[in-house]
Amino acid sequence: MKLAYSVEEKPPFKKNLVYAFQQLLAIIAATLLVPALVNLGTAGGTEVTMSQPAALFGAGAGTLLYVFCTKKRSPIFLGSSFAFISPLIGACSFGYFGIFLGAVFAGAVYVILAVIIAFVGTKWVDRLMPPVIIGPTVALIGLSLCTSAVSNLNNTSSGDYNLIAILCGLIAFLVTVAASVYGGSHIRMIPFIIGILAGYLVASVFTVIGRAAGIPYLQIVNYTPLADNFRNLSAASFFSVPQFTFLGMLENGTKSLGGAVGVANVLLLFAPVALVVFAEHIADHENLSTVIGRNLIKDPGLHRTLLGDGLGSILGSFFGGCPNTSYGEAIGCVAITGDASIYTIILTAVLCLLCSFFTPFVAFVNTIPVCVIGGICIALYGFIAVSGLKMIQKVDLDDNRNLFVVSTILVLGIGGLTLDFVRIQITSIATALLMGILVNLVLHRGDKKENTAKSEKQE
C-alpha cells in the first residue's frame, strides 16, 4: 500500500498531534480494560487494585522504551496484554511485588529469546513460519477479535441487547468508512476520530431524549464517570498522580510474596504465557511488515523487537502493573490511515503519559459507549484479518499440503481450541499456530531434499 507518511517521515506537529490522538483512541479502550478485568478477579484476600491511569502511563513508557530498542524503525504501540489477565489475577494473591515480579519473568523470557536470536539469526523463523503459517495466523488474530467487536456493538458486553446501541455503533463504523474512502486528504488521515465523535454524538442525543422521557432503553451514554470526577471541584478533579504499582510495592513490600515458593508460583504463572505470546509477537510484526513494506524481522531485527517488547513489559508493569504487548489496533490504524511515522507513535506514547495524570480524560474515555467502540473495531479488526488473507494470496492452495496447513490454523483458531495445563493456558490462537507449524513441518519435511536434488540435477 502507498503510505501517507513512511516510518522516518515526520508530520507537521499540529497534524501529528491529531494523528497521535487518533492512535490513542484506537488503543486506549483495550489498554484500560485489562486492569478493570483484573480488578474483577482480585484474589487471595490481598488488597490489590489495578489503576487504569497507571496502566495508561505504563503503556506509554513501555512504548517509548520499545521505540528506543528498535532504533525508531518499528511503528507499533505496546499496550496492556490480554494474554496475561489470568496470570495477573493469580498474582494478586502475591501482592504488588508478585505482580511486578511476574512481568519481570515474562520480560526475561523475551530478553533471553532476543539474545539467542541475536546469535543464531532468524532463518529458522522463515523455516518455521512461512507465509502459509503467518498468513492464516494474522487473519486469525483479526477474526478472533470479531466476537469482541460484535459483543461491544450490540451492547451485550456491558448490558442487555439494544438495537439503539447497534445503530450508534453502525453509525460510528459507517462514518469511519466514509471518512476513510471519500474524505479529503486530511479527513482520510483521521477517520477514527470522526467516527467516534459521530457515534458519541448520536448516542448522546438518544440519551438526552431517553432521560427526558424516562426511557432507559434510549440511555446509551453513562456520564457517571465524568459526573463523579467533577462532583467535588478541586485540583484533584483535574490532575492526580496515578496509583503506580511501584508505590504499592514500596508500601506493602514482599510480605505477601511468600518466599521462594511464592516466587516459583509467580514464575509458573507468567513465563509459559510469555513463550506462547512470542508466536503472536512474530505474527504482529510480520503483519506490520506487510503494511509498511519493510521486513521488520530483519531490520531492526527480531532480536530488537523482542528486546523492546520484553523490557517494555517490565517497565510498563513497574508503573501500571500490566505487562505490555504489541497491539493489533495500532497496526490496523496504520493500515487504514497510511500513517506509519514513528513520530506519531512517539507522540502517542507521550500523550499516554500526560493523559494518565489528567483525570477528566480517563473519565471521558470511560463514558464512550462500548457500542461505539465496537463499531470502530469492525474496521480495525477487519483490516487485521484482511492483511492475513493478503499474505495467503502468495500461497499455492492448489497444493493440498498448503491447504491442510491453512485449514488447520483457521478451524482450530476460529473454533476456539484452548489447552489448559493446570496453571498454564495455551490460547486458541497459539494452539492453532503450533498445530499449523507441526502439520507444515510434517507435510513439507522432504522439500529441502527435493530442492537440493533439483539443484544438483540442473548442475
Rounded Cα–Cα distance for residues 20 and 353 (Å):
13
Residue 81 inside a domain? The answer is yes
Q: Say whether pLDDT at 173 is over 90.
A: yes
Residue 276 inside a domain? The answer is yes
40 — pLDDT class (breaks 50, 70, 90): low
The whole domain housing 33 covers 13-447
CA neighbor of 26 nearest in space, from 175, 200, 196: 196
Q: Say whether pLDDT at 326 is over 80.
A: yes
45 — pLDDT class (breaks 50, 70, 90): low
Cell of 226: 465524568
Residue 455 inside a domain? The answer is no
**Residue-wise pLDDT tens digits, 70-112:** 999 999 999 998 878 878 888 888 889 999 999 999 999 999 9
- Structurally, how many domains does the chain consist of? 1
Residue 275 inside a domain? The answer is yes
Supply the pLDDT for residue 305.
96
Residue 371 inside a domain? The answer is yes
Residue 173 inside a domain? The answer is yes
Q: Say whether pLDDT at 276 is over 80.
A: no
Residue 456 inside a domain? The answer is no
Q: Say whether pLDDT at 425 is over 70.
A: no
Residue 8 inside a domain? The answer is no
Per-residue pLDDT, averaged over 168-172, amounts to 95
404 — pLDDT class (breaks 50, 70, 90): very high
**Residue-wise pLDDT tens digits, 124-137:** 877 888 889 988 98
Per-residue pLDDT, averaged over 312-325, amounts to 93
Q: Say whether pLDDT at 382 is over 80.
A: yes
Rounded Cα–Cα distance for residues 95 and 321 (Å):
11
455 — pLDDT class (breaks 50, 70, 90): very low
**Which residues share a beta bridge with 145?**
none
**Residue-wise pLDDT tens digits, 226-246:** 888 777 666 556 888 999 999
